[in-house]
Amino acid sequence: MARALLVHLCPRSNTMSKAVLTISSKNYGAWALRGWLMAKFAGLDFTEKVIPPDDPAMKAEILLLSSSMLVPSLQHNGIKVWDTLAIGEYLHEIKPKAGLLPDAIKARAHCRAVCGEMHSGFASLRSALPMNLKARFPGFKVWSRAQTDIDRVLAIWKECLATYGGPYLFGKRPCLADAMYAPVVTRFLTYDVALDKACTAYCKHVMELPAMQEWVAAAKLEPDEIDELDAEF
């Protein structure tokens, strides 16, 4: 499900305002988590604007009903950026020393490729294993199409970890790729997906990130206002 990279110039203001990141549910919102982690990894000073559960943009993200997502979106210095990859690229431009993309051109191209694959692929995994940080399903039955997606994700992780030495996908610090795959980490834990030693260690490193711990803690405090039975999986 390809999502175009879109940037919209907003009217300029005479004063520099604090960045605002619009997000959805922290328990269910995979794309919101990706954009939020990117902003955290970049060291961007921002405030959150959380849309209500009955907002159409929230439902589109949670229930996979739209091919064009407007959540998350970032407003910064008179610029509005939506689409998670566009946010990541914008943050890399304004925070080039944050390490959101690797320094070496070959690794940078590889990072963009695996981010793009996560961005537009793995539809079966998304629908069969929706993000739900509060839940745990031991022994969950994974159907064949979703398992194919899982196998591909694990292959990406193992290749990156072996190539760049870990503990994160492209080395010693988390980058855009880790933000893109972080919701998959949570899905694997929620649905008790079998992992080898290397991938288990990677998931542990991701979940131990201070930003991830902050997000998960907030998700657990979130009221259960979304009816999961409405999801069109």
Per-residue pLDDT reduced to its tens digit, 45-104: 999 999 876 656 555 545 554 445 678 999 999 999 999 999 999 999 999 999 999 999
CA distance 114 to 164: 14
Same domain, 21 and 123: no
Higher per-residue confidence, 13 vs 146: 146
The parent domain of residue 25 ranges over 6-97
Q: Are residues 112 and 72 in the same domain?
A: no
Structure tokens at 172: 């010693």
Total of domains in the chain? 2
Closest CA to 111 of 167, 41, 163, 43: 163
pTM for the structure as a whole: 0.86
CA distance 77 to 111: 27
Residues 184 and 186: their CA atoms lie apart, in Å, by 5
Q: What percent of the chain lies above the pLDDT cut of 70? A: 82
**In a domain? residue 233:** no
Residue 90, domain CATH: 3.40.30.10
Summarised one tens digit per residue, pLDDT across range 126-177 is 999 999 999 999 999 999 999 999 999 999 999 999 999 999 999 999 999 9
pLDDT over threshold 70, residue 223: yes
Whether 148 and 167 share a structural domain: yes
74 and 81 Cβ atoms separated by less than 8 Å: yes
Q: 133 with 190: CB under 8 angstroms?
A: yes
Please give the span between the terminal C-alpha atoms of the chain, in angstroms, as a whole number.
Answer: 15
- Asked if residue 167 is part of any domain, the answer here is yes
